[in-house]
Amino acid sequence: MKKLLGGTLAAAAAMTLVACGTDNNSEVNELGAETAEASNGSEDRSDWPEEFIFGLLPVEDQAELTNRYEPMIEYLEDYLDVDVTLYNATNYTALIEAMANGHLHASTFGPFSYLVAAERANGEPFAIPVSEEGGTEDDIYYTAQMITLDEHGIDSLEDIEGRSLAYADPASTSGHLFPKAMLINEIGLTMDNVDQFPSDVVFSGSHEASLYSVLNGDVEAAGVCSTCIERVFDRVNDHENFDQLNIFHESEPIPGGPYVIQGDLPQSFKDAVQQAFLDMSEDEKGREFLEESGYLGGYFQVDPAVYQVVQDTAEALNLSPEELLE
């Protein structure tokens, strides 16, 4: 299992690569316009919206978020030849309701919130970002990991019995829901007794906080997101207990959160939006946004079928996607 940790560290190092390119911006914009027209299948754009409204969660300072997305807005406006407006919301539920009511055309979503968007707002996944430069469709996945220190002698999920366990946040896919589902599916627990299996269950508030809780000896095990802790390894690898850190169990691959578009929009417009994201790495402004956002591999097309594992996990927890969001 130490090899798993080594592989994770290698992946973290790979994520520091910076995308590059010298394509002429005007030529790419012309290509984008041609591609959008080809996707349209004709010159008639009369049924297209006058502006493209794209939703975001305020996961950081709103001004900083707007600045980071400005190159993407400029790129999309050139590519689609329509105005682009950002729609800031306080949570995924607000984004879903806005999409269902026609106030929002597309947005970023998490794996579970996408299921709700598909159900309530006829949302369709059209693209997904990849962090690693030169990445493939396989890189859209991450995992939920169970971590501990060697000194605790925890080698399997069964060994969690009677031990202290940290989750990140109640709504976290890989920091709570998937780890809990692993306990239910793989060792036969139920929703009635899964929280009593450890001696103590705490919510740390974040994946990084869970990692520190294990390193500092505050808990004996924790469920964390593989990519989330990769990002902080450079800050914790000098911790006195870092060499003891062990990944003792890992979930099946989890697809990352997709970009979702409202399904009732004209097909030609949906095709053009999807192609704009798939072509983003070929444009100067597009690359600027991708680099600042850490999406060094650009975007890939995503099949709704890959989210069946998320649906199965919701069913294992005996909770609807709406309840999971709450």
Between 2.40.50.140, 3.40.190.10, 3.20.20.70, 2.70.50.30, what CATH number should domain 144-252 receive? 3.40.190.10
Torsion of CA 194, 198, 202, 204, to 10 degrees: -100
Measure Cα distances from 103 to 9, 82, 89, 94, 272 in Å: 42, 16, 12, 11, 20
Between CA 166 and CA 203 the distance in angstroms is: 6
Give the residue, 186 or 205, on which the prediction is more confident: 186
Both tokens of 173, joined, read 């896919």
Domain parsing of the chain, residue ranges: 17-138+256-306, 144-252
Between CA 188 and CA 184 the distance in angstroms is: 5
Q: Is the pLDDT of residue 274 over 80?
A: yes
Q: Is the pLDDT of residue 29 over 60?
A: no
Using alpha carbons, select from 47, 25, 325, 308 the residue that is nearest to residue 172: 325
Give the strand order in the sheet containing 245-250.
Answer: 200-203, 164-167, 221-225, 144-149, 245-250
Matching fold, domains 17-138+256-306 and 144-252? yes
Range 17-138+256-306 has CATH code 3.40.190.10? yes
Q: How does DSSP classify residue 225?
A: E
**pTM flag (> 0.85):** no
Q: Is the pLDDT of residue 25 over 50?
A: no
Mean predicted lDDT score pLDDT of the chain? 85
Using only the alpha carbons of the chain, give its radius of gyration. 21
- What is the mean predicted confidence (pLDDT) over 152-168? 97
